[in-house]
Amino acid sequence: MAEGKSAIVFPGIGPVRAADSARFLTAHPVARRLVAEADRVLGYSLIDRYREAEARGAGGAFPEPARIAYLVGCLALAEWAVTERGVRPAVCAGASFGGTPAAVQCGALSFGDAVLVTAEWGRRAEAFFAREHRDVVTQSFARVPAEVLAEIRGELDAGGEWNEVACQVDHDFHMLSVREGVLDRLQDRLRAAGGLPLYVMRPPMHSPLFGALREEMAAEVMAGVPFGDPRVPLVSDHDGSLVETAAGVRELLLDAAVRPVRWPLVVGTLRSLGVRQAHVTGEDALWGRVEIMTGAFEVVAVKPQTAMRPRRRSAFV
């Protein structure tokens, strides 16, 4: 591939076993330092709490310590890639939850504040969805082109069933929010169209329905958090625009509650900036692997396994 600029891209959070995550977080020197800092900020042992939460099955798929461990892992890998492998990103981007480590990486948010925001966001979201919109879920699915999805949504609309696109990952990979009572019919319809229903998200995110959660975060959490102008531009995962001010980064993180993720727009912006190499930094089974990414860039997966290899071997796969 022709020479060009590099980007650091943080994937959205996905399931990671505590034992697998802890192996990297306790053994890698950069990760250990960040874990120690997170422990000081939180007032508890992140690794111990992570293991306990997984053993109890507490907090759904992503309990508080799992979210923070994911944040720590992403940033440890990004720091390692910059300091040890000489990656010099011209721009950063993050998908959904990946927006928070992206804000730290571009210099707009301190690590300690990111830890606190992540913890508080999760606590408030859990309480919010325990009392409001309890029947809303988000179904992810592949192999359904946008025009077919438009037909399916039209059928739902005609039947008076509320639905919203929460995320577009690729041209044929989407996440759609619906009322839980519609879920079985939606899955059947997706299969009939040749689609592949994947996982169901509870709680959901990325919908204008959740404006009250955004307002709560803005007034009671983000209002006291200092943001700075990014050192390098940050690409919005909502519309592909460049975010270059402190206020813009704050709004970007808050808008994660109410605006859908449009990953093809991020890819388009990165290409227009001359990015040729995308370093997808963190545990990822989705965002760096979809065709829209692999067809546009040389995708470099920066993962715990590769960062733990001896220096004589390549760190990237």
DSSP 92-112: EEE-GGGHHHHHHHTTSS-HH
Q: What is the pLDDT of residue 311?
A: 62
Residues 6 or more apart in contact with residue 112 via CB below 8 angstroms: 37, 41
Preceding peptide of 226 cis, ω within 30°? no
State the Cα torsion 196-11-271-142 to the nearest 10°. Answer: 0
Residues 6 or more apart in contact with residue 175 via CB below 8 angstroms: 138, 139, 140, 141, 165, 166, 167, 168, 169, 201, 206
CA distance 22 to 25: 5
Q: In the chain, where does DSSP find H-type helix? A: 18-27, 29-42, 46-56, 64-85, 99-105, 111-131, 146-158, 183-192, 211-220, 246-255, 263-272, 291-294, 304-307
Q: 10-residue block means of pLDDT along the chain (317 residues)?
A: 81 82 92 97 95 73 89 97 95 97 98 97 94 96 97 98 98 97 97 97 93 97 96 97 98 98 98 97 94 97 85 49
Centre a 10 Å sphere on the Cβ of residue 258 and count the other Cβ atoms it contains. 18
Q: What is the pLDDT of residue 1?
A: 39
Residues 6 or more apart in contact with residue 286 via CB below 8 angstroms: 11, 12, 14, 169
Query: What's the number of CA atoms in the CB half-sphere (13 Å) around residue 7?
Result: 31
DSSP structural state of residue 11? P
* Residue whose pair of structure tokens reads 């959490």 in the numeric block: 221
The per-residue b/e assignment along 173-189, b for 16 or more CB within 10 angstroms, e otherwise, is bbbbbbeeebeeebeeb
Q: What is the pLDDT of residue 205?
A: 87
Tens digit of pLDDT for each residue in 272-304? 999 999 999 999 999 999 999 999 999 999 999
Q: What is the pLDDT of residue 315?
A: 46
State the Cα torsion 288-64-138-270 to the nearest 10°. Answer: -30
Q: What is the pLDDT of residue 149?
A: 98
